[in-house]
Amino acid sequence: MGKHSRPGPPNQPSRAIPHADAGDPLASYRKRRRPPLDLYRRHRPLHGGGSHLRPEEPRALEEWNGFTYEPAGTAPTLADAERWVKEQTLNAHDWQA
């Protein structure tokens, strides 16, 4: 086993510490305001359990506000919840500008 090895593909940078621009005076602030694993929107089953189980049950939708996830609504099925999450993925960095 190699020294300081990390799990994951070797061709991708570590996501543990996000890159911060040295020329940006607000870089450290923006770095702290990024959501965990860069997920700006996520969904959770209303009745617990794994998110892939019981796809016909409703999901709670949550959105990152810069500090924590806050409720954003509900989706009737897993497919609708995933569609809502992917909708934001296209414009994920608009709020940082």
Mean pLDDT in order along the chain per 10 residues (97 residues): 59 60 80 78 88 89 90 95 83 49
pTM of the model: 0.62
Q: Which amino acid is at 54?
A: R
Within a domain: 8: no
Range of the domain at 44: 35-92
Within a domain: 9: no
Task: Give the full edge-to-edge strand order of the sheet including 69-75.
Answer: 41-45, 59-64, 69-75
What is residue 84's predicted lDDT score, i.e. its pLDDT? 94
Number of domains in the chain: 1
Mark out the alpha helices in the chain (DSSP H runs).
27-32, 78-89
Can you tell me whether residue 11 is helix, strand or coil?
Answer: coil
Please give the span between the terminal C-alpha atoms of the chain, in angstroms, as a whole number.
Answer: 42
Within a domain: 55: yes
Q: Which amino acid is at 75?
A: A
